[in-house]
């Protein structure tokens, strides 16, 4: 059992500075209780990857991360034979017959373990983070489906390896493409939105302890206003925190129009977005 | 109703509303119910959502139905029970709390003002107000519930000016501070209106059964919204959806191009490679495929009746600019003007639309006239259409009983490589009234395109 209840999730995650709300706490609890993978989807910068790290930190589990990208294949995600080493071993062989050599070069020593296999074989509690699943090709989804349904892998030369303890699996996605229905059905789904201003204020206070509560409040409200504009890229939580650091460094205690205008580049990274914000907010 | 019956009924209602809930997912939800505290309503909601709702666009419908099947259990009038997200709020333990049953309207508006500035207890207050102002007798022993009478009695939107004055406390108006305050109060006003309509639905369900109201209460998810029925708020949400949708489509298209038809045999490379295997071509090499990128010309009806459809489609094609060699757009009502210039890369989307309506010369008399528009287009911009061009016509083919100019359209379609017509009207309404759908459809293949799903499918076929 990973967590005792949603309230327990809330408490232990906030101890490692990750502030949750009802839906996050419940989904994180259920993923552990039902032993199902958790798919966290949402815009960039709402703390999806951070969530997996926080779960690992709060439970003392080790974190195994598989970063997905276009062209990721089984050899990079699951396992590979170290064939260079195998060649050396054969050349260094002292006249054994083929069978002995064969039995020798397909052993543990020559196996390159990749994140998925490492998570499955791990003896200790493990959080497996499969990051940016939407960037991977569709074939990888098939592989994930297979592994996430029975948590076992078959390696022809070694036989079937089943998980001793099921890892806690978190998949993240920015929804740049639709993941397959089959994969979604297998997972619990958590849509992470930008946080409500109250929660974002608390996040800023947790991350930047030196800031005054009033200013953090103003920051969170202003960022919420910016996100309501139709921007190309809305400010992420990390950018809000950066903004708080910037204001501290500049020694500002008040977020007035002039300050916002001067530091807008910290939160908006597109020229068109900045122009729009200046116009809409009369900066 | 036992918990099991309620669960089964709820899952069934979700399916009726168009959410694809599989059997396995229903079982997951049931298993989740065994491990969470059922008295925590927000936990229950989150448990159902994470097991059954796998798409953000399905969430609003889910929430509406959840509130019907698992209603909050107070009327809000008698001592408020606290709820998950509201925290300890309401009027408990507060000596000078307002008695919501007897208080006068001005006092109630004061309380609402506090709530709109972020005080706790919004939901209880909304329920109490529905109890007081939402009831209308519909005959002996029968009653109806309405949210508009509640909103009329308290009129939250007229509190804005007063609240702004309170929040800004003498700071200058019209600046950043006001914008931020407006945003927050507007957000809370919407929350209050939602809370009222949720409670009204709950009461109607109590009187006349959940299933009856469930069918009418849920709006279809965003991607299934009918283009001709979108509200202003929907349009803003759709606009926000354009970029993600375009990104998804673009990814799909590149994948398709990569997988589809390999190029022709690269003879030279294959033979060279075969030298190392004694002249046996073990590996065959193909030439990379030249991606076919059509030039796109969009001719679009920008009259009011189909404006939202035209806008959305234009935005989408512009977001997909990279998929085409060149994109030119023309708008018409009864005469034609090129509107490509409003969509320069990096331009602001919402602004482009307003400028388009104000500056482009698309209207002479103000009534849609397809025939005239086609003729003007052929004589003024005929050179835009050539053998590499895909011509895309958007409109409902309703021409106010004017000449259709079929010949001109036929000439245009012979010039172009492909021609398509997207019609946002349901097929059942084609040819009714002044619709020339079939007449035009004989010249140009006409597709029904009523929502984002259909549009996305079409774009994928086009590129």
Please report the DSSP string for B307-364 in residue order. HHHHHHHHHHHHHTGGGSSEEEEEEESSSEEE-GGGG-TT--HHHHHHHHHHHS---S
B-chain residues within 8 Å CB-CB of A185? 22, 24-25, 54
B258 touches chain A (CB under 8 A): no
**Distance in angstroms (rounded) separating the CA atoms of residues A63 and A51:** 12
DSSP A109: G
Instruction: Kindly list the domain boundaries of chain A, sorted by start residue.
Output: 6-72+116-191, 197-277
**Distance in angstroms (rounded) separating the CA atoms of residues A70 and A76:** 12
Q: What percent of chain B has pLDDT over 90?
A: 21
B27 touches chain A (CB under 8 A): no
Q: Tell me the pLDDT tens digit for each residue of A213-268.
A: 999 999 999 999 999 887 888 899 999 999 999 999 999 888 888 899 899 999 99
Report which of B443, B333, B452 is spatially closest to residue B391, judged by C-alpha positions.
B443
**CB-CB under 8 Å, B348 with A275:** yes
Residue A109 C-alpha, separation from nearest chain B C-alpha, in angstroms: 33
A-chain residues within 8 Å CB-CB of B254? none
Predicted pLDDT of residue B378: 92
- Report yes or no: A9 and A3 within 8 Å, Cβ to Cβ: yes
**CB-CB under 8 Å, A5 with B32:** no
**Distance in angstroms (rounded) separating the CA atoms of residues B419 and B414:** 9
3-state class of A184 per DSSP?
helix
Using CA atoms, how far residue A158 sits from A41, A81, A103, A154, in Å, is 36, 11, 10, 8
Query: Which H or E run includes A79?
Result: strand A79-81
Measured in whole angstroms, how far is the alpha carbon of residue A252 from the centre of its chain?
33
Is pTM, for the whole model, over 0.95? no
Predicted pLDDT of residue B134: 87
Among A180-194, B212-226, B438-452, the least confident range: B212-226
Burial class (CB in 10 A: 0-12, 13-18, 19+), B214: buried
- Report yes or no: A226 and A267 within 8 Å, Cβ to Cβ: yes
Tokens representing residue B61 in the block: 């419908």
Comparing alpha-carbon positions, the chain A residue that sits nearest to B183 is A225
> What is chain A's Cα-based Rg?
24
Residue B51 pLDDT > 90: yes
B427 touches chain A (CB under 8 A): no
Comparing alpha-carbon positions, the chain B residue that sits nearest to A182 is B22
3-state class of B373 per DSSP?
helix
Tell me the pLDDT of chain B averaged across its residues: 82
Residue B369 pLDDT > 60: yes
Q: Tell me the pLDDT tens digit for each residue of A101-124.
A: 888 888 889 999 999 999 999 999
Name the β-bridge partners of B423.
B448
Tell me what the mean pLDDT of segment B41-60 comes to.
93
Q: What is the band of B166 on the pLDDT scale with cuts at 50, 70, 90?
A: confident
CATH of domain A6-72+116-191: 3.40.50.300
Predicted pLDDT of residue B345: 62
B172 touches chain A (CB under 8 A): no
Name the β-bridge partners of A128.
A64, A169
Residue B59's CB: how many other CB atoms inside 10 A?
A: 15
CB under 8 Å, gap of 24 or more: what pairs does B246-251 form? B246/B316, B246/B319, B246/B320, B247/A176, B247/A177, B248/A175, B248/A176, B248/A177, B248/A178, B248/B456, B249/B320, B249/B323, B249/B456, B249/B459, B249/B460, B249/B463, B250/B320, B250/B322, B250/B323, B251/A176, B251/A177
Burial class (CB in 10 A: 0-12, 13-18, 19+), B74: middle
Q: Tell me the pLDDT tens digit for each residue of B396-431.
A: 888 888 888 899 999 999 999 889 999 999 999 999
B87 touches chain A (CB under 8 A): no
**CB-CB under 8 Å, B239 with A30:** no
More confident residue, B222 or A114: A114
| Cα maximum dimension of chain A | 83
Q: Tell me the pLDDT tens digit for each residue of A152-197.
A: 988 888 889 999 889 999 999 988 777 888 999 999 999 999 999 9
Residue B22 C-alpha, separation from nearest chain A C-alpha, in angstroms: 8
Task: Give the torsion sign (CA, B294, B295, B299, B304).
Answer: positive
B-chain residues within 8 Å CB-CB of A173? none
Which of A5, A26, A276 is the closest to B348 by Cβ? A276
Which A residues 4-23 touch B at CB under 8 Å? Answer: 5-6, 22-23
**CB-CB under 8 Å, A137 with B244:** no
**CB-CB under 8 Å, B50 with A27:** yes
Which of B24, B176, B248 is the closest to A257 by Cβ? B176
Tokens representing residue A35 in the block: 């032993």
Residue B64's CB: how many other CB atoms inside 10 A?
A: 21
More confident residue, B36 or B234: B36
**CB-CB under 8 Å, A23 with B46:** yes
Which B residues 28-67 touch A at CB under 8 Å? Answer: 28, 31-32, 35-37, 40, 42-43, 45-47, 49-51, 53-54, 56, 59
Residue B435 pLDDT > 60: yes
B-chain residues within 8 Å CB-CB of A175? 244, 248
More confident residue, B218 or B407: B407
**Distance in angstroms (rounded) separating the CA atoms of residues A261 and A271:** 13
Predicted pLDDT of residue B80: 41
Name the β-bridge partners of A66.
A130
Q: What is the band of A20 on the pLDDT scale with cuts at 50, 70, 90?
A: very high
**Distance in angstroms (rounded) separating the CA atoms of residues B377 and B157:** 47
**Distance in angstroms (rounded) separating the CA atoms of residues B212 and B62:** 16
Give me the DSSP letters along B271-299: HHHHGGGTT---S--BPPPPP---EEEEE
Which of B175, B251, B349 is the closest to A257 by Cβ? B175
Report which of B291, B311, B287 is spatially closest to residue B300, judged by C-alpha positions.
B311
Tell me what the mean pLDDT of segment B183-197 comes to.
90
Which B residues 336-375 touch A at CB under 8 Å? Answer: 346-350
* Residue spans of alpha helices (H) in A122-236: 138-150, 181-186, 197-207, 213-228
Which A residues 249-268 touch B at CB under 8 Å? Answer: 256-257, 260
DSSP B83: B
Q: Tell me the pLDDT tens digit for each residue of B72-111.
A: 875 444 444 443 343 344 444 444 456 777 788 888 898 8
A-chain residues within 8 Å CB-CB of B234? none
């Amino acid at each position: 059992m990973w967590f005792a209840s949603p309230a327990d999730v809330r408490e232990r995650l906030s101890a490692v500075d990750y502030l949750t709300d009802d839906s996050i706490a419940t989904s994180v609890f259920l993923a552990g209780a039902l032993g199902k993978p958790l798919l966290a989807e949402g815009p960039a910068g709402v703390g999806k990857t951070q969530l997996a790290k926080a779960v690992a930190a709060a439970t003392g589990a080790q974190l195994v991360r598989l970063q997905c990208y276009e062209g990721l294949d089984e050899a990079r995600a699951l396992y590979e034979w170290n064939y260079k080493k195998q060649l050396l071993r054969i050349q260094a062989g002292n006249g054994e017959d083929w069978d002995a050599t064969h039995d020798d070069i397909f052993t543990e020593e020559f196996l390159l373990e990749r994140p998925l296999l490492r998570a499955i074989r791990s003896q200790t509690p493990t959080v497996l983070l499969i990051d940016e699943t939407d960037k991977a090709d569709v074939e990888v989804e098939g592989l994930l489906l297979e592994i996430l349904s029975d948590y076992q892998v078959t390696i022809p030369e070694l036989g079937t390896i089943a998980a001793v303890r099921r890892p806690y699996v978190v998949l993240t996605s920015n929804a740049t493409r639709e993941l397959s229905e089959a994969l979604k059905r297998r997972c619990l789904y958590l849509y992470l939105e930008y946080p409500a201003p109250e929660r974002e204020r608390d996040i800023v206070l947790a991350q930047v302890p030196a800031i005054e509560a009033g200013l953090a409040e103003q920051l969170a409200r202003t960022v919420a206003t910016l996100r309501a504009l139709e921007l190309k890229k809305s400010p992420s939580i990390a950018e809000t925190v950066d903004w708080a650091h910037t204001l501290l460094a500049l020694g500002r205690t008040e977020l007035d129009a002039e300050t916002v205008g001067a530091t807008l580049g910290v939160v908006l990274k597109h020229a068109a977005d900045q122009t729009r914000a200046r116009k809409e907010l009369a900066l | 109703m036992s918990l099991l019956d309620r669960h089964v009924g709820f899952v069934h209602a979700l399916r009726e509303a168009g959410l694809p809930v599989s059997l396995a997912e229903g079982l997951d939800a049931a298993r989740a119910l065994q491990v969470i505290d059922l008295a925590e309503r927000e936990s229950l909601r989150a448990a159902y959502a994470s097991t059954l709702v796998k798409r953000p666009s399905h969430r609003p419908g889910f929430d509406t139905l959840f509130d019907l099947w698992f209603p909050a259990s107070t009327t809000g009038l008698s001592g408020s029970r606290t709820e998950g997200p509201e925290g300890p709020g309401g009027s408990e333990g507060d000596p000078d709390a307002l008695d919501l049953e007897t208080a006068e309207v001005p006092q109630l508006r004061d309380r609402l003002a506090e709530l709109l500035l972020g005080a706790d207890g919004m939901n209880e207050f909304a329920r109490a107000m529905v109890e007081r102002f939402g009831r209308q007798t519909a005959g002996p022993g029968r009653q109806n519930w309405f949210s508009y009478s509640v909103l009329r009695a308290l009129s939250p939107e007229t509190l804005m000016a007063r609240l702004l004055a309170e929040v800004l406390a003498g700071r200058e108006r019209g600046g950043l501070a006001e914008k931020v305050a407006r945003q927050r109060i507007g957000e809370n006003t919407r929350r209050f209106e939602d809370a009222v309509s949720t409670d009204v639905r709950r009461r109607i369900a109590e009187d006349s059964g959940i299933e009856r109201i469930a069918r009418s209460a849920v709006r279809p998810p965003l991607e299934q919204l009918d283009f001709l029925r979108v509200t202003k708020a929907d349009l803003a949400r759709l606009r926000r959806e354009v970029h993600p949708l375009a990104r998804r489509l673009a990814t799909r298209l590149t994948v398709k191009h990569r997988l589809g038809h390999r190029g022709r045999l690269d003879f030279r490379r294959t033979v060279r490679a075969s030298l190392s295997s004694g002249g046996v071509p073990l590996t065959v090499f193909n030439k990379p495929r030249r991606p076919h990128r059509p030039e796109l010309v969009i001719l679009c009806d920008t009259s009011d009746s189909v404006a939202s459809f035209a806008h959305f489609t234009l935005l989408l094609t512009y977001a997909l600019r990279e998929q085409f060699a060149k994109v030119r757009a023309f708008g018409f009502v009864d005469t034609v003007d090129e509107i490509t210039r409003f969509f320069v890369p990096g331009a602001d989307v919402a602004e482009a639309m307003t400028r388009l309506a104000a500056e482009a010369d698309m209207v002479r008399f103000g009534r849609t006239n397809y025939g005239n528009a086609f003729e003007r287009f052929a004589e003024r911009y005929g050179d835009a259409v050539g053998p590499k061009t895909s011509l895309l016509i958007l409109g409902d083919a309703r021409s106010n009983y004017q000449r259709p100019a079929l010949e001109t359209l036929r000439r245009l379609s012979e010039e172009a490589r492909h021609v398509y017509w997207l019609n946002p009207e349901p097929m059942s309404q084609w040819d009714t009234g002044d619709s020339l759908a079939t007449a035009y459809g004989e010249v140009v293949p006409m597709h029904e395109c009523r929502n984002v799903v259909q549009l996305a499918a079409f774009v994928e076929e086009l590129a």
